[in-house]
């Protein structure tokens, strides 16, 4: 009979964005007594990065551990957003079961499907947690049926279909085995985990096999490999071999081992089969590589890493305002920063171009790349970005492009507009369900090209009432011709100077303005959206001539419309082929690649010929 480690459980928490899994982990940490009573712990303690805290999303997979009674439970909190799917897939290899967290009102969402599919493919046993059970419009019975339907649709086997359900409110710290039976404790959840998640196999006497699943980086220790000991034991000071993904073998000595408890890493001397640990002492370590004894070299199957689907050009800032707001502006600094990102981000690619001042950066989606840019601007970098392009692949001699599954929830009144706009973007409707209460849920398959820049248009179409979620589905044969793209032209500044109230008021009937009065602008900078499909060069710095008839303060009573401020994601999505987004620590500006009006017109005429 196979020996198992009854004292240990390894689980991953999976869910759609904002269904409350990070808050649930907080409650589990508190209830298990992992924190001292007097220890101050931030809300959503697992989200350690500033952007994660602000946006309430998990970007990087995190691991923590809890001691409950005589059991040690390793918990991996995975990102819910499909752009970070590479992390989710690898984590599934480290664990023996999953907690699927589903919102008791929203039910199954696109990323629920995405992360669950990865878990079922690994034959992992699920425990379903119906969270937010305290919501006034919660519908637990229907949502459990939806989850069951999703399991069947994704090809779950009989043992996976017999999933236990725990009802919880992570916010209130309650859980129970029935929706009405809510106790101020996480005990029902812990007991369900111990009963239904299999214990790891105990093969500590066999030769060592440890696989790297996540990378971390520390200035003192260098690269740190986080992973699971699949077989045998590993000790500090041990001589081991690292089997590289390219077939090479490197020998090294284990300098430090870390275990996990709560949110802390603790130094340990030894780990054995089933443990999830971090190893330091290897500079050249990568995801998917196996650590084993030098005299018994057996590699575990290499982990598949999701390929990038979107690329953008990162260019050194060369606008008239270059160097005014940022600390790091040179090509050397930007290149160093991008190469540092590659140390821990395995789904990212950085390729040089013909110019020493530009790089092609490829990632898993707009969110993946915009978070890298947001981190860089917070660190004091200035740079320019080109319009995102999808990565076209050749599969069996056919050119293919990424296609996404899009789920849309809108009030009934807007269904026609949304269907028409996605139809124009080559979207194909898969499903439409009237959910009652005036809401409709629609599912489409849309080429990723068609979704670039769509979210702004979607919000306008649905007056902000619509919710859109999308996740990568597959690569499919390329649809010829133009798909999506911006329809409106832009208003481009004619001169350098400060935008004036008078200049803005003169332009208000021409479109939507992006800058406030008194904003420094330069010739070639985009200052608004034209209400027609062509670009218009405008004088936004124009001042009113003073005459002896009118006094200077006559216009102070005039009011101007509210300007439209673009976030980083919106600005990146908004770009056209001949434009850059200029990003600095203080500002996000849009500009034409060619700033001079005459040269720009010559270039566009050449293009038309």
Binding-site residue ranges: 18-23, 131-134
Task: Compute, in degrees rounded to 10, the torsion defined by CA atoms 517, 518, 521, 523.
Answer: 70
DSSP 388: -
Residue with tokens 């989606």: 365
CB atoms within 10 A of CB 7: 14
135 touches 174 (CB < 8 A)? no
Q: Is 559 helix (H, G, I), strand (E, B) or coil?
A: coil
- Here the tokens at position 213 are 């699943």
CA distances from 519 to 321, 541, 561 (A): 13, 9, 16
- For residue 272, give every residue at least 6 positions away whose Cβ sits within 8 Å of its Cβ, in sequence order, or none: 204, 229, 232, 233, 234
Write the DSSP assignment of 473-536 as a string of letters.
Answer: EEEEEPPPS--S---S-EEEE-SSEE--HHHHHHHGGGEEE-S-TT-EE-TTEEEEEESSSS-E
d(CA 329, CA 480): 39
User: Facing residues of 536 across strands?
Assistant: 491
CA distances from 137 to 141, 184, 260 (A): 12, 21, 38
Task: Compute, in degrees rounded to 10, the torsion defined by CA atoms 152, 155, 160, 162.
Answer: 20
Q: Is 324 helix (H, G, I), strand (E, B) or coil?
A: coil
Instruction: Give the residue ranges of the annotated binding site for GTP.
Output: 18-23, 131-134
Count of residues in the chain:
609
d(CA 2, CA 13): 27
d(CA 149, CA 135): 23
User: Facing residues of 530 across strands?
Assistant: 511
Greatest alpha-carbon pair distance for the chain in Å reads 102
DSSP 553: G
Q: Is 556 helix (H, G, I), strand (E, B) or coil?
A: helix
Q: Provide the pairing of β-strand 97-103 with 125-131.
A: parallel
User: Facing residues of 12 across strands?
Assistant: 76, 98
- For residue 375, give every residue at least 6 positions away whose Cβ sits within 8 Å of its Cβ, in sequence order, or none: 51
Nearest to 224 by CA among 211, 212, 234, 233: 212
What values do phi and psi take at 551, rounded to 5? Answer: -90, 155
Direct distance between the N- and C-terminal alpha carbons of the chain, in angstroms, rounded to an integer: 77
- Here the tokens at position 588 are 């996000």
Nearest to 73 by CA among 256, 203, 195: 195
Q: Is 281 helix (H, G, I), strand (E, B) or coil?
A: coil
- For residue 332, give every residue at least 6 positions away whose Cβ sits within 8 Å of its Cβ, in sequence order, or none: none
Indicate the burial class of 395 (C-beta count within 10 angstroms; 0-12, 13-18, 19 or more): exposed
User: Facing residues of 498 across strands?
Assistant: 520
């Amino acid at each position: 009979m196979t020996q198992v480690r009854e004292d240990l459980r390894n689980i991953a928490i999976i869910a759609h964005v904002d269904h409350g899994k990070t808050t649930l982990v907080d409650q589990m940490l508190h209830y298990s007594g992992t924190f001292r009573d007097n220890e101050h712990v931030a809300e959503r303690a697992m989200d350690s990065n500033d952007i994660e805290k602000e946006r309430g999303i998990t970007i990087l997979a995190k691991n923590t551990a809890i001691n409950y009674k005589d059991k040690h439970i390793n918990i991996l909190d995975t990102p819910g957003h499909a752009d970070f799917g590479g992390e989710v897939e690898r984590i599934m290899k480290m664990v023996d079961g999953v907690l699927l967290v589903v919102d008791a009102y929203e039910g199954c969402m696109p990323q629920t499907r995405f992360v669950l599919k990865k878990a079922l493919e690994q034959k992992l046993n699920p425990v379903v947690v119906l969270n937010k059970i305290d919501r006034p419009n919660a519908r637990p019975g229907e949502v459990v049926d939806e989850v069951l339907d999703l399991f069947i649709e994704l090809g779950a086997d009989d043992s996976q279909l017999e999933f236990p359900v725990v009802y919880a409110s992570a916010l209130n710290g309650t859980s129970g085995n029935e929706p009405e039976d809510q106790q101020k404790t996480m005990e029902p959840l812990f007991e369900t985990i111990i009963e239904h998640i299999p214990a790891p196999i105990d093969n500590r006497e066999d030769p060592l096999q440890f696989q790297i699943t996540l990378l971390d980086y520390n200035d003192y220790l260098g690269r740190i490999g986080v992973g699971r000991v699949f077989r045998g034991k590993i000790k500090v000071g041990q001589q081991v071999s690292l089997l590289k993904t390219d077939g090479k073998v490197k020998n090294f000595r284990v300098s430090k081992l870390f275990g996990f408890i709560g949110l802390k890493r603790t130094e340990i001397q030894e780990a054995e089969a089933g443990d999830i640990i971090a190893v330091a002492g290897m500079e050249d370590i990568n995801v998917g590589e196996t650590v084993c004894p030098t005299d018994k070299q057996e590699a575990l199957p290499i982990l598949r890493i999701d390929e990038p689907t979107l690329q953008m050009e990162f260019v050194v800032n060369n606008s008239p305002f270059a160097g005014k707001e940022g600390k790091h502006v040179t090509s050397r600094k930007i290149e160093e920063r991008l190469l540092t990102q590659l140390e821990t981000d395995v789904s990212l690619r950085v390729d040089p171009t013909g110019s020493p001042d530009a790089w092609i950066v490829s990632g898993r989606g707009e969110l993946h790349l915009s978070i890298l840019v947001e981190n860089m601007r917070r660190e004091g970098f200035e740079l320019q970005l080109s319009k995102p392009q999808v990565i076209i692949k050749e599969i069996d001699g056919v050119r293919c492009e990424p296609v996404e599954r899009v789920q849309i929830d809108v009030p009934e009144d807007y269904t026609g507009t949304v269907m028409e706009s996605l139809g124009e973007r080559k979207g194909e409707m898969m499903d439409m369900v009237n959910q009652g209460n005036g809401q409709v849920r629609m599912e489409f398959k849309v080429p990723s090209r068609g979704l670039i820049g769509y979210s702004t248009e979607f919000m306008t179409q649905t007056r902000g009432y619509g919710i859109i979620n999308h996740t990568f589905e597959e690569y499919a044969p390329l649809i010829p011709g133009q798909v999506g793209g911006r329809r409106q032209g832009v208003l481009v500044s004619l001169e350098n100077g400060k935008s004036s109230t008078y200049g803005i008021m003169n332009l208000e009937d021409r479109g939507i303005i992006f800058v406030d009065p008194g904003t420094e602008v330069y010739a070639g900078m985009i200052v608004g959206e034209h209400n027609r499909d062509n670009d218009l060069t405008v004088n936004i710095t124009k001042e009113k001539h003073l005459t002896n008839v009118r006094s200077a303060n006559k216009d102070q009573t005039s009011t101007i419309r509210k300007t439209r401020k673009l976030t980083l994601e919106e600005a990146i999505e908004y770009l056209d082929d001949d434009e850059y987004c200029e990003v600095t620590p203080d500002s996000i500006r849009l500009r034409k690649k060619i700033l001079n009006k005459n040269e720009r017109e010559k270039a566009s005429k050449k293009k038309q010929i």
